[in-house]
Structure 1
Amino acid sequence: MIYYPFSDYLKHHYGEKVYKLPIALPVTCPNRDGTRGTNGCTFCGEIGAGYENLPSSMTISEQIANNKAHIVPKYKAKKFISYLQNFTNTYMPIEKLVQCATEAVQDKDIVALYIATRPDCISEYYLSRLNAIKKQYNIDICIELGLQTVNYKSLKKINRGHSLAEFIDAVLQIKQYNMLTCAHIILDLPWDDMDDVIENAKIMSALKLDQVKLHALYIIKNTKMADDYLHDKIKLISLDDYKKRVITFLEYLSSDIVLQRLIGRAPAENTLFSNWHTGWWKIRDEIITEMEKNNLYQGKLCNYLNGPALKKFDPYN
């Protein structure tokens, strides 16, 4: 296995193909409303990440029904994941979150609830209430944490509003409730190098994350990063370098961590730069081809955990 793709995990875990149904809620972010900051992350646009979402003015049930109506005939899908995707989906009063989460799992074909949020919007009380929903409806819950990088200096540069510590704290808390964890990571931030790529993989492996979602850096129109890009204040890496970073990341990443994706996508009308004007599927296939050709695979260099300096004393080594 070159790497552990999300599709394989879903088929193994649920016995068939499972599709995500994106859901937009009328929420914001503590890094926008003044709680942690006012201008948001430098790369984040006004609509967040939900480019393909239906309007948040629609009810959750309406969004699920509409998305199913599109996906079922096309992919013959029978099972689905409700995905609270846009902005920070645990950043609301707890009773409102419980109401939204409960509505998102009412459909009989929903097998899991995935919730995108920030590391500083996780608490034991919120997790305990979500855990009650998990048990009541017998579903999986995955908390997707936007991290972007383990480099705390880069986190400051993108005005992330939290550090690596909050991410570690959130992961440890989520694991106490037997929920799945996923990290969103940008491998090509302008201030990160290959050492940061490797450290990203090492931290994910050491924390025993369940899933990781990679994407290349988009330059979204009308953002602080777009202004820096237009004024040559930041330099982007080449496509070849990005592919090298993904391959290196995978080599150092524990083989049992699921990759939701190796690269994402954003519509051209919203971006100044996205994926080197190349289809995401083409980039993914080129990464796989390169790894196959050179006998590279996920976890090949994951030899740094569990006291590697002591291995020379192991009589069974």
Structure 2
Amino acid sequence: MTKYYKYSNYLKDKYGAKTYKLPVNLPLTCPNRDGFLGAGGCSYCGEEGASFEEASPTPVKEQLLEIKEPIAKKYNAQQFIAYFQNFTNTYLPLNELLDNIAQALEVEDIVEIALATRPDCINQEYIEGIVDLIENNAPEVKLNLELGLQSVNYHTLKEINRGHSLAEFIAAVNLAKKYEVDTGVHLILNLPGDNKLDTIESAKVVSALEVDNVKLHALYLREDTELGAEYQKGELEMISLEEYLDRVITFLEYLDPKIGVQRLLGKAPQEGTLFVNWGYNYSEVNNFILEEMEERDTYQGRKFAYLEGKALRQFSK
């Protein structure tokens, strides 16, 4: 039995063929770093950002064409997603954003534009502009907004200097749904201050909002971050690997089984990193999760029975 709805299967069900992400990196920043909303970024975010992928001055179309063929051969991919991945990809003037997306639409076999962004960097004007561009140039291409939320606990969001709360995320998802735009969410399940109840509520919130896909991260700590400094001083204690496995499994149990799961934890650069994945590599921790799910005989959606007036089921015949 499949333990969770893997993103690869989700994409194949959605597009009818093997579909793979092609990463695009733009020279940009985010409003939580440049002083508009805050300075220094989130307390876990290093100088390169949460991802160790560097920005590229190469035009979008050239970036995509450079990696498309190697990815197609390596993974037997037939269709592709142009994934604008670094920092906040809608945090630039609308005309510049549309120019970047227009370049991606010129690449053959692109079936989706995916924009990694923040909930507070989406509004009606931007969504309408993007949707109109796609409809007028490549109406078969889908749009997916991957929104960084990280936690549904708004106290935690304030503590990590996120610069927005849960409300902005809810508003962004509702706005995207109004225009029939797909949504994804990024979550970190082991942020300081969060507990298992936050994990359960995260699954419930994204399920209730009917997001289309989720990407889970395990917090890693870099030297050039506020949390990294606290860790070095002994002021921050990370949860155990066993606790992380339990949180991931619990999250999946409460998650709507129709939601695609991009991954169960993240990867990190080795240089300058103080803590990552409890000393194990990505594949090992991923396997630990699957083995524990097998041991518990559980799966995604096993506890997805809390919506649509659960208290009224007692009156059903």
The runs of 5 or more residues in structure 1 that have no matched partner are none
Contact persistence 1:49–1:85 (CA under 8 A): no
Pairs within 5 Å for 1:210-221: 210-221=212-223
**Partner residue of 1:70?**
70
Task: Please name the residue that 1:173 is paired with.
Answer: 175
Q: Counterpart of 2:271 in 1: which secondary structure?
A: helix
5 Å matches for 1:99-248? 99-136=99-136, 137=138, 138-248=140-250
The SS at the match of 1:268 is coil
Unpaired runs of 5+ in structure 2?
Answer: none
| CA–CA distance in structure 2, aligned partners of residues 223 and 50 of structure 1 | 13
Aligned-partner Cα distance in 2 for 1:153–1:21: 35
1:278 aligns to what?
280
Residue type matched to 1:12 in 2?
A: D
Q: Match of 1:269, SS?
A: coil
Counterpart Cα distance in 1 of 2:172 and 2:53:
28
What's the CA shift for 1:79?
1.3
1:103 deviates by 0.9
**Residue from 257, 262, 265 that aligns with 1:263:** 265
Q: Could you tell me how far 1:47 is from its partner in structure 2?
A: 1.2
Q: Is the 8 A contact 2:185 2:213 kept in 1?
A: yes
Corresponding letter in the other structure for 1:102: A
CA distance in 2, matches of 1:178, 1:49: 28
Structure 1 residue 98: deviation in Å?
A: 0.7
Secondary structure in structure 1 of the residue aligned to 2:149? strand
Judge conservation of contact 1:24–1:50 (CA < 8 Å) in 2: no
Once the two structures are TM-superposed, the CA of residue 289 in structure 1 deviates from its matched residue by 1.9
- In structure 2, the CA distance between the partners of 1:203 and 1:9, relative to structure 1 (3 Å rule), is same
Mean Cα displacement is larger for which, 202-211 or 74-83?
74-83
- Checking the alignment, whether the CA contact within 8 Å between 2:51 and 2:268 is kept in structure 1 is no
* Counterpart secondary structure, 2:262: strand
RMSD: 1.2
Alpha-carbon distance, 1:69 to partner: 3.8
How far apart in 2 are the matches of 1:45 and 1:206? 32
Give the aligned length.
314
Among all aligned residue pairs of Structure 1 and Structure 2, give the percentage whose two residues are the same amino acid. 48
